[in-house]
Every structure is written in C-alpha cells, then in structure tokens.
C-alpha cells in the first residue's frame, strides 16, 4: 500500500490547489490594516520566526513582532502562526515557544471562525493528541460539516472528492472515534456529539458559513495570511506516491515557502504537521516537485502550501495487534 498526495493552497482555505488568484477580489473588512502591518515587517519575518537555523537576533525580533501583531483582532493570521508554535511545542524542531494548549486554542480558533476551514481540523488534531475526546469530536464534526456543506461546492473533480472523503477525512473521524470510545473512561454519551455540533452551529449562525464560502472563493487572499495573489503555481506533480510510515494511515503538513524573484523556491519552513515531523519530511518530497512563476511585482514573497496524504480505508488506525 502506498500513500497518494493531495495538495491544498492556503489561499483557498482547503480547496484544491488553484493559486491563480483573481486580482480583482475584494478583501474582507480589516484586510488593508493587516496588509499594512505585514508590509511594515522586515522581509522574511515569518521565515525567521519558523526557521530553526535563522540567526538568534532575527528570530527573537520575528517572535516579538508576531506577538505584537497577534493582538490585531481583525488579522487572525498572525495569531494563527503563533498558535501552531504553542500547539506543537518541542515537537516542532527549534520551536522558540513551549507547548501551551490553552494559548494555542485561543489563537487558532479565530482563524477558523474567520473562514479558514483547515483551522478546525487543527483544533480537532490538537485536542485528540491530548485525549480531550469531547472537544476533539466537536471540532472534527464542525470541520466535516463544513467540508460537506461548503467546501464540496468548490471541488469539481470526482477523484479529489473521493480522496478527501476516503483518506484524510475518514482517518480523522476514525482517530477521533478511537479517543472517544477507547481512551476515555467512562466514554461520553454519544448524544453529546450531535448536541455539541448543533449548539456551535446555532451560536455561529449564517455568518460562519458565509466567511468559509468567501475564503473558498479567494476573497480572503492577502500576503499577511500567506495567500497572496502574487504567487502562482505553474505545475505540481501529477502523481506523488510515498511508502507510508508504520501505523499511520494519513498525514498532513503546512510549510511557508519563500518564492524568489526568479520563481525559484527559497527557504521552506515547516509550520504545522500531523502526526509527526517524520511524516512531514516524506510529504516535503512532493512539495519539492512544485514550480512557481516569478512573483507579480518582481519581489520575493511567501505563501503557505498545505498537503495531505493518505490511503483509502483506515489501515494504520488503532492499536498494534499482538502476534498470535
């Protein structure tokens, strides 16, 4: 059995990789302030923040800048990157921040509720890792609800729809069920699953699905959110198969990629991963096959590229069987 890849461009918040942005798209309220704040940062600040090999003084300055900008409520993208650092702690090589799940929740949720659908999966994965069954199930159900009710409208390819349903998404639900049924004693009543989903959807009302639709349409693209319309992917590998790691049925990772004026990739730094950095290293072999057009304004730019990989079924999920 081998994994197959499926790439996601952050500009579309989880839609299939389409980085030919509509330059006429109107950003949501607050976008101009976010862009202004981001443009005032030294070039490559987010790379320095995430790059364990960056000089100490530049990394410290980048961390200070992102901590300051994370207070901008209209710009959840700054807090989102910090939230990933707090989420992973020492599991992310060279991370300047300790693991702090409470802070990670506070910083990742606003990005999700701004319309960035993968952030709900981030919350589910984080709560699952810490065996918080009810919260993990809540965010899994929210994520899968909007995958079906919103994201599916923007995925035309039948193979891609099948892959999303049978690979990463099915594994996410299977792993959440494992935490719910086997790792929590006593197991929570199953009626809470629907109750928690319905309560959250009622609390959010029509505003949240509208924002997710906007994100899928590319209306939230901006450089500060690592989804600039100046970045265009010119080719991706038609197929990228990798031998899976033992007992892992699916994996995902996100990188911030520097695109040089020539269109070549510069620094590529890991921002997020599931389940571990070893799986992310495998996925990066597929990322290395991307090619990019030179940025529209002739200056280096950065973009978030996310990728999930999995295989049909749920192999790799669950505990290892004892030999007979």
SS3 sequence, the chain?
CCEEEEEEEHHHCCCECCCCCCCCCCCCCCHHHHHHHHHCCCCCHHHHHHCCCCCHHHHHHHHHHHHHHCCCCCCHHHHHHHHHHHHHHHHCCCCCCCCCHHHHHHHHHHHHHCCCCHHHHHHHHHHHHCCCHHHHHHHHHHHHHHHHHCHHHHCCCHHHHHHHHHCHHHHHHHHHHHHHHCCCCCCCCCHHHHHHHHHHHHHHCCHHHHHHHHHHCCCCCCHHHCCCCCCCEEECCCCCEECCCCCCCEEEEEEEEEECCCCCEEEEEEEEEECCHHHHHHHHHHHCCCEECCCCCCCCEEEEEEEEEECCCCCCCCCCCCCC
Q: Looking at the domain assignment, is residue 318 inside a domain?
A: no
- pLDDT (tens digit per residue) in 154-182: 987 766 666 666 678 888 999 999 999 98
Smallest Cα–Cα separation from 193: which of 126, 145, 235?
A: 145
| pLDDT at position 84 over 50 | yes
* Integer Cα distance of 255 and 271 in angstroms: 5
Phi first, then psi: give them for residue 30, nearest 5 degrees: 95, -15
**What does the pLDDT read at residue 270?**
98
| pLDDT at position 56 over 90 | yes
What is the mean predicted confidence (pLDDT) over 228-248? 78
The winner for highest mean pLDDT among 15-19, 165-169, 179-183, 289-293 is 289-293
Q: Looking at the domain assignment, is residue 252 inside a domain?
A: yes
Say how many C-beta atoms besides its own lie within 10 A of residue 239's C-beta.
Answer: 7
Q: Looking at the domain assignment, is residue 150 inside a domain?
A: yes
Smallest Cα–Cα separation from 267: which of 297, 287, 283, 248?
A: 287
Structural domain that includes position 169: 3-310
In percent, the amount of the chain with pLDDT more than 90 equals 67
**What does the pLDDT read at residue 129?**
95
Q: How far out from the chain centre does Cα 249 lie?
A: 18
Q: Looking at the domain assignment, is residue 315 inside a domain?
A: no
Q: How many domains does the chain divide into? A: 1
* Integer Cα distance of 239 and 27 in angstroms: 34
| pLDDT at position 10 over 50 | no
Residues 6 or more apart whose CB falls under 8 angstroms from that of 112 comprise 119, 120, 122, 123
**What does the pLDDT read at residue 230?**
84
Q: Looking at the domain assignment, is residue 267 inside a domain?
A: yes
**What does the pLDDT read at residue 187?**
84
Q: Looking at the domain assignment, is residue 324 inside a domain?
A: no
**What does the pLDDT read at residue 308?**
84
Residues in the chain, total: 324
Residues 6 or more apart whose CB falls under 8 angstroms from that of 259 comprise 231, 265, 266, 292, 294, 295, 300, 301, 302, 303
* Integer Cα distance of 147 and 165 in angstroms: 9
| pLDDT at position 19 over 70 | no
What is the mean predicted confidence (pLDDT) over 239-259? 81
| pLDDT at position 15 over 50 | no
**Band (275; pLDDT cuts 50, 70, 90):** very high
Q: Looking at the domain assignment, is residue 320 inside a domain?
A: no
Q: Looking at the domain assignment, is residue 317 inside a domain?
A: no
**What is this structure's pTM?**
0.88
- pLDDT (tens digit per residue) in 108-141: 999 999 999 999 999 999 999 999 999 999 999 9
119 or 21, which is more confident: 119
């Amino acid at each position: 059995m081998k994994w197959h890849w499926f790439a996601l461009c952050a500009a579309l918040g989880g839609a299939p990789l389409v980085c030919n942005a509509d330059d006429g798209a109107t950003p949501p309220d607050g976008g101009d302030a976010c862009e202004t704040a981001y443009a005032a940062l030294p070039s490559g600040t987010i790379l320095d923040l995430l790059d364990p090999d960056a000089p100490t003084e530049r990394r410290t300055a980048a961390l200070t800048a992102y901590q300051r900008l994370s207070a901008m409520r209209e710009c959840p993208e700054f807090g989102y990157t910090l939230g990933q650092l707090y989420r992973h702690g020492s599991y992310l090589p060279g991370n300047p921040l300790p693991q702090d799940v409470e802070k990670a929740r506070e910083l990742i949720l606003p990005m999700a509720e701004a319309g960035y659908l993968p952030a709900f999966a981030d919350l589910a994965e984080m709560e699952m890792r810490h065996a918080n069954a009810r919260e993990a199930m809540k965010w899994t159900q929210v994520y899968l609800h909007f995958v079906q009710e919103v994201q599916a409208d923007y995925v035309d390819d039948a193979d891609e729809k099948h892959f999303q349903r049978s690979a990463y998404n099915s594994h996410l639900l299977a792993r959440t069920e494992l935490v719910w049924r086997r790792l929590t004693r006593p197991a929570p009543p199953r009626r809470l699953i629907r109750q928690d989903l319905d309560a959250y959807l009622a609390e959010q009302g029509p505003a949240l699905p509208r924002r997710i639709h906007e994100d899928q349409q590319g209306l939230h693209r901006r450089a500060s959110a690592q989804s600039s319309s100046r970045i265009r992917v010119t080719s991706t590998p038609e197929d990228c198969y990798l031998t899976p790691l033992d007992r892992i049925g699916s994996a995902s990772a996100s990188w911030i990629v520097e695109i040089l004026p020539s269109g070549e990739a510069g620094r590529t730094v890991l921002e997020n991963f599931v389940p571990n950095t070893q799986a992310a290293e495998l996925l990066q072999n597929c990322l290395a096959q991307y090619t990019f057009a030179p940025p529209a304004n002739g200056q280096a730019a950065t973009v978030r590229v996310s990728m999930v990989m999995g295989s049909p079924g749920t192999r790799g999920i669950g505990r290892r069987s004892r030999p007979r």
